[in-house]
Every structure is written in C-alpha cells, then in structure tokens.
C-alpha cells in the first residue's frame, strides 16, 4: 500500500464502494488527493506524509486518556481505559468522576492493580492499555479526571443506551399524519410565507381529524442578511431556528407598538402584503424585507418598554439567553457581522468574504465589534427567542390535542460552508469539500449538495459535542426527528474541490458511538428517530439501524422486487415510517402523469438521451404494476381505476395508495400535503437551483381552505378507518 493510501485509510477515506447497480467503484487518486489536501495534509513531501501516518496511527497510544469514552449503559461493569508506558512504573493514580448532576466520586489505585487489555511498542517504548473499573453511572454526560505523576488528564464519559425512544413508547397503535413544507402554508392576510402560527393552526386541525403527527421541512436558520438563500437543507447552523417563519402578528408586543401599527396599516405596506400573499411563489427577498422591518421596530419597542423596565417578558427573554448560553451569542454575532459586511459588499455571501481579522470568532476585532454592536446582537437573539416561543406554542398545541407524536422535525445532513456553524468552529470542518451522493437511478450524474462536512477525527476529539448540540436543539420541541441521509452517520460521500459529483469518495464515521449519542438524546427528549435511508445503502446498515431503534424510511416508489412488482404492504417492516414520496421526488399525481420525467428531460438531467425514453417506458410498466398491487390489496375498485394511457391521476388513486400504505405494519404513515390536495409539481428537483421553482411553491389554498376540500375530507375518512385512534 502506498503512503498516500495508508494516510487515506487512517483518516477514513474508503478505497471504493458498491454502487446502486452492484458495481464496484474505485476511489480515484485524483479524488483521494483532493480530499487529503482539503483535510490539511501536504502530499508532495514523503517524509511529512510518513510523519502524518505515524502521528495518526500512534496518537491513541501517546495519550493517557482519549478525549471521550463511550460506555454502554447495559454493560454489567463500567470501565475506562488508560494508556501508560513503562516509565510510570507502579505509580499511584488518583481519579475523580464528576457526574452530570455535579456529584463527585473519588478513589486511588496503583497501576499494578489494573488489568492490561492491550499492548503496543512504538520505537523502543512499550505502551499498555489498562482497564480502570468505575462505578455504575446514570445515563448521560460525565467527566473523569486522572492525576498521575503530577500530571492531570481528562476524559468525557458518555453513558448511553443501545436503543432510541420508539413509536411503541409513544402509542400502542399505528399512527398517521401529514407532511408539510412550512413555507408553503397560507392564510388570509398572510405575509407571503408560511409561519409558526400556520403550523399551530394545521397541528390543531389535523389533531381534530385523528392525526398523530405533522412532519416538516428543516426549520434550521438560513441567512437573514441573504434571504435569497432558500434551501432548508443548506442551513447556516443546525442548532437554532429560521426567523423568517416568525408570525409577526403574534409577537407579544405587536398590538402595543404604535410605529408598527402605523406601518402595517399604511396603504403602501398593505399593498406589498397583498401582492406577497396572492403570489403563487414566495418572494423571499420582499417577504424578508417586510418582516424584518417590522421585527426591527418591535425590538426597539421591546427594548424601551420591557428590557429597560425589566418586565416579565424581558425576564423570559433573559432566561432564554441564559439557557442557550454562549452558542446563542456567537450565532447572533455571526448574523450581525453578516449583515454588517453585506451592507458594505452585496456579494459578501460568506464569512470567507469578510476581512481576515473577522474570520476568527475569538479575534480581538470580533470582540470589539461585539462591544460596539451589542444591541444589534441582542436583536438577533431576540429573533431566536420569538421563533423558539412560537415553535414551542405549536408543540404545546399538539400536546394539548393529545397527539401521540406531535411535531416531526428534520435534521439536515450538514451546514453551508459560509455560515455560522463553520465560522464558529473552522477546525472541525473540511473547507472546500462538499457532501453529496454518488450516481444512482434517480440522479445518474451524482449529487454535490454544497454542504461542508465535519472531520470525523475532529468530531470524536470534541466528544461529539457538535452532534449533541444539533440533536438537542432539534429534539427540543419534536416528538419525532428525521435524520436526513442517515447513511452519513456511517460514511459520507465527499466531493473534493473542483471535482465533479461523479468523482467523490466515501469517508468513514464512528457509527457505533454516534448511534449511542442519538439513542441517549432520543430517550431524554422522548423523541422517535427516523433515518432517511434512501440511496446507495452500505451492507448491513438496515440491521444496524433496527438494532439501534431507528425507524427506516420506506417510500412506496422504491418498495419493489427486482422484477419491478410492488411489495405487498404487510411486508413493510413495523419499525418504519411509510410514505408515498419525499420532497425530492414527484407527488403521486406527478409520478402517475410523468411530470417529473418532463422536468428531467427539459433540464437535461439525463447523461444520455436514450435514458429518458427508457424511463418513460419503465413508467408505463410501473403504472400497470401499481394498479395490480392496489387491486390485489383490494383497496381500488376496478371501475375506479385511473387512466393509464394517456395517464390521468384521480382521487381514487390517491385514496387507494394511502389505504395500501395504511395497511402496512409501519408504525408511522406520513401523507404529503401536496398529495392530499392533488398537486402535480414536486417540491424540489435535486441537482437544480433556479431552473425549477425549488422551495418556492405555495399551496393553492389556505390552511383553513385545505380542510374544506373534498379530497382531503375523503382522505381523512380513509385514514380514520384504516388507522383509527385507540
């Protein structure tokens, strides 16, 4: 094995993978070298490469304690492993555990009393890994401090369960609900985009119809200073909320603020809102301009009449800031800096476009900026507080309505490289590299999502804190959490700088530890976890997910035998969430009519033209196979079959497909709102940005009007019959 291949293996770059068709794809030297260079390694100096290899290979033997130790909660004996060399002889060890609750456990032991688990010789020195048995600890996050030979060493201890909180813990019946893109929801007198108030509305109405869950697109923050950046899967951070979703009219001091009342009642402002609210597509820039203009005035009023007077509301805001801690202040500082530099240069879309002295969050210049702009930073924290309060209100509506799950939120696979999370912790990320997916049936040209990956070595060195923070933030009000592209917990497909999406390579992540962290946070929050396991699947991954209590993500279009026949619903696993489609796939009416194929051909998304015709031919056969499956399951009367040629979808097809899925053992069923009201256009076409109205389309009806549609009412009747509340 060459030196560069050795180095690649040590940092987790895999030599190849098996694609969707079962073919072996080898990682090219070009891809390997691009990723190694992006990770900070110099490849033109063999001596340096040898040093890097030795450092990576030997580092675990050259430190007394690792940065983090995962302890299985079910183990009969808890142990920590420390590494010593011969020079320490029979030294005395003083160890102290500080539990998460603040309690301390202390003891002294001699090195000779510890059992040797493993040994290794580096140069002329022999190192021994020894087992230190410790008392049982509560599930959670603890710290052990070891003092030996006048030196002190620390290690984070994570005591974690094997399995997540599950749907059986939430309810003893099969649940169902709706999936909605929050931005697409409408109301009379709205502000051009769905908001947390609309969310509370749809939650209450769905609960009244027997639904147990409302699924949503990611609610992560984007860029208040650049609202045109609209993909919810390309956030600036995964630890806070999108403030453009604030329902401005429900801000506590909205009615009391005279400047706001004057503004929103003005003819010009009303005309703007009428235009935004009547538009088929969202105008993010104009919507943001209207909302943030009002929110700015509301903050000024809040500062004068609440913060200065230390009102009850201001105390709530103060408590929120204390709870969110330094992470919130750093995030708000980023937003303030982003706003500041974007005013100076409209093309400053990333922190990398700022003067270098502001690219380090701990720099002297950033500290001075914070001191000069403390009130503006407080404004951005105020926005987060409002968003948190309103999302919390929607979750409370679900609780008050006795929904078994309530909100089903979505955790994006990563963050935009120009955003707050990467700026705040640059050493943990691999700049210039994009996370994506290799070529497959849906995307023959591969995908590069433009998300900056975290370095798996750094993730472990930080005791998984970035992951813990993201999970905890997103489970705060969620009864279920979908982890986008869950395969990324085991391996991520990285595309090197300047390379095509077909030229990526997989990088290994510490899956076992990550699953334990997820299980711990899941049980603490009583939050079900669904893994979006679509695409190129690593061998054995499904079994690993099931053993950890994650639900599989089962999409009707893909649940087929090799012959193309659709699997019977009873063959779906119980530990799954079932649905017809996702945001990246066609709606059922769109799939039936081939609307998605029209778009793909129009946008030249086929590497070869003959593939387009082949897909159309396959779709004709697929329609026939779906009808056969629905007839076989006795959910579609023969006389109500939709037209196959020319294809024409009807309500009976939608009802039959949802009844088909409802009869599966899958514990949760989600019905996209687009399907429920018969829409043809899909939410997003992967591989496109502005060529298709991705993340722009609004529902044709208000939330209240949706429930008056015959199609939705009939569908609810079907679901109440097939999956009744018990």
Residues 556-586 have pLDDT tens digits of: 999 999 999 999 999 999 999 999 999 999 9
Compute and round to an integer the Cα radius of gyration of the chain. 27
- Whole-number Å distance between alpha carbons of 695 and 72: 41
What counts of helices (H) and strands (E) characterise the chain?
Answer: 23, 25
pLDDT at 87: 86
pLDDT of residue 297 exceeding 90: yes
- Closest by CA to 129, choosing from 120, 141, 140, 139, is 120
- Closest by CA to 194, choosing from 286, 269, 287, is 287
pLDDT tens string 216-243: 999 999 999 999 999 999 999 999 999 9
pLDDT tens string 676-695: 999 999 999 988 889 999 99
pLDDT tens string 366-406: 999 999 999 999 999 999 999 999 999 999 999 999 999 99
pLDDT of residue 537 exceeding 90: no
Q: What percent of the chain has pLDDT over 90?
A: 92
Cα atoms in the 13 Å half-sphere on the side-chain side of 367:
3
pLDDT of residue 444 exceeding 90: no
Task: Compute the average pLDDT of residues 36-44.
Answer: 95
Q: What angle do CA 197, 273, 707 make, to 5 degrees?
A: 45
Residue whose structure tokens are 């990682």: 27
Instruction: Locate 33 and state its tokens.
Output: 């070298």
pLDDT at 726: 76
pLDDT at 445: 82
CB 167 within 8 A of CB 660: no
Chain-centroid distance, C-alpha 234: 10
pLDDT at 715: 97
pLDDT of residue 443 exceeding 80: no
Q: What percent of the chain has pLDDT over 70?
A: 100
pLDDT tens string 332-377: 999 999 999 999 999 999 999 999 999 999 999 999 999 999 999 9
- The pairing of strands 115-122 and 125-134 is antiparallel
pTM of the model: 0.96
Return the axis-axis angle of helices 465-475 and 511-525, rounded to nearest 10°.
30
pLDDT at 511: 96
Alpha helices in 449-488 (DSSP H): 456-461, 465-475
CB 479 within 8 A of CB 408: yes
pLDDT at 341: 98
pLDDT of residue 441 exceeding 80: no
Provide the mean pLDDT of the chain: 95
Task: Compute the average pLDDT of residues 188-197.
Answer: 96
Burial of 108 (C-beta count, 10 Å sphere; 0-12/13-18/19+): exposed
pLDDT of residue 315 exceeding 90: yes
Cα distances (Å, whole numbers) of residue 284 to 289, 403, 593 = 8, 32, 30
Task: Compute the average pLDDT of residues 605-621.
Answer: 89
pLDDT at 607: 78
Domains belonging to the chain, first-starting first, are: 75-160 (2.60.40), 550-726 (no CATH)
pLDDT at 19: 86
pLDDT at 22: 85
Q: Residue 571 contacts by C-beta under 8 Å, 6 or more apart in sequence? A: 559, 664
pLDDT tens string 401-440: 999 999 999 999 999 999 999 999 998 999 999 999 998 8
């Amino acid at each position: 094995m060459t030196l560069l291949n050795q180095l690649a293996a040590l940092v987790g770059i895999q030599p190849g993978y098996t694609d969707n068709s079962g073919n072996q794809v080898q990682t090219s030297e070009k891809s390997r070298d691009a990723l190694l260079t992006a990770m900070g390694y110099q490849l033109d100096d063999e001596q340096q490469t040898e040093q890097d290899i030795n450092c990576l290979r030997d580092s675990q033997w050259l430190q007394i304690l690792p940065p983090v130790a995962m302890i299985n909660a079910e183990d009969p004996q808890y142990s920590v492993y420390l590494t010593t060399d011969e020079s320490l002889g029979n030294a005395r060890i003083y160890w102290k555990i500080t539990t998460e609750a603040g309690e301390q456990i202390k003891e002294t032991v001699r090195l000779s009393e510890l059992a040797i688990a493993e040994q290794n010789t580096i140069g002329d020195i022999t190192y021994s890994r020894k087992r230190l048995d410790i008392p049982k600890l509560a599930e959670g996050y603890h710290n052990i401090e070891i003092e030996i030979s006048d030196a002190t060493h620390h290690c984070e201890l994570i005591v974690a369960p094997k399995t997540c909180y599950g749907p059986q813990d939430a309810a003893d019946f099969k649940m169902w609900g709706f999936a909605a893109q929050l931005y697409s929801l409408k109301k009379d007198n709205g502000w051009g985009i769905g908001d947390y108030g609309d969310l509370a509305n749809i939650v209450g109405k769905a609960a009244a119809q027997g639904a147990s869950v409302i699924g949503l697109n990611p609610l992560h923050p984007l860029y208040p200073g650049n609202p045109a950046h609209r993909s919810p899967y390309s956030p600036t951070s995964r630890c806070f909320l999108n403030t453009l979703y604030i329902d401005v009219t429900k801000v506590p001091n909205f009615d009391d603020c005279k400047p706001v009342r004057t503004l929103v009642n003005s003819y010009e402002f009303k005309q703007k809102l009428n235009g935004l609210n009547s538009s088929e597509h969202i105008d993010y820039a104009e919507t943001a301009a209207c909302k943030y203009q009002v929110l700015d005035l509301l903050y000024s009023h809040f500062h004068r009449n609440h913060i200065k007077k230390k009102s009850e509301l201001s105390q709530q805001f103060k408590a929120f800031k204390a709870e969110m801690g330094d992470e919130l202040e750093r995030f708000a500082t980023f937003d303030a800096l982003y706003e500041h530099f974007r005013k100076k240069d409209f093309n400053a879309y990333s922190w990398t476009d700022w003067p270098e002295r502001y690219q380090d969050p701990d720099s002297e210049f950033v500290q001075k900026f914070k001191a000069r702009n403390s009130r503006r930073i407080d404004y951005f924290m105020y926005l987060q507080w409002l968003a948190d309060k309103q999302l919390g209100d929607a979750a409370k509506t679900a609780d008050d309505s006795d929904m078994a799950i309530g909100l089903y939120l979505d955790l994006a696979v990563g963050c935009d490289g120009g955003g707050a999370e990467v700026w705040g912790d640059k050493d943990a990320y691999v700049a210039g590299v994009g996370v994506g997916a290799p070529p497959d049936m849906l995307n023959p040209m591969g995908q590069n999502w433009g998300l900056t990956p975290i370095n798996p070595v750094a993730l472990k060195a930080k005791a998984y804190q970035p992951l813990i923070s993201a999970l905890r933030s997103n489970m705060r009000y969620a009864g279920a959490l979908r982890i986008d592209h869950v395969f990324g917990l085991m391996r991520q497909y990285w595309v090197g700088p300047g390379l095509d999406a077909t030229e990526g390579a997989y990088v290994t992540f510490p899956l076992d530890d990550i699953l334990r962290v997820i299980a711990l946070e899941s049980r603490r929050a009583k939050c079900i976890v669904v893994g979006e396991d679509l695409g190129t699947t690593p061998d054995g991954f499904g079994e690993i997910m099931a053993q950890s209590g994650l639900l599989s993500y089962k999409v009707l279009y893909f649940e087929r035998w090799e012959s193309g026949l659709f699997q019977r619903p009873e063959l779906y696993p119980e530990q799954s969430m079932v649905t017809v489609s996702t945001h990246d796939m066609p709606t059922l009416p769109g799939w039936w009519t081939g609307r998605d194929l029209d778009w793909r051909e129009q946008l030249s998304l086929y590497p070869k033209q003959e593939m387009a015709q082949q897909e159309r031919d396959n779709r004709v056969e697929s329609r026939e196979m779906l009808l056969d499956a629905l007839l076989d399951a006795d959910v579609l009367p023969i006389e109500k079959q939709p037209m196959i040629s020319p294809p024409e979808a009807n309500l009976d097809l939608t009802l039959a497909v949802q009844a088909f899925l409802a009869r599966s053992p899958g514990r949760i069923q989600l019905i996209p709102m687009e399907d429920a009201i018969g829409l043809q256009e899909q939410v997003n076409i992967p591989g496109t940005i502005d060529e298709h109205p991705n993340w722009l389309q609004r529902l044709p009806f208000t939330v209240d009007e949706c429930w008056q549609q015959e199609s939705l009412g009939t569908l609810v009747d079907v679901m109440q019959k097939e999956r009744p509340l018990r």
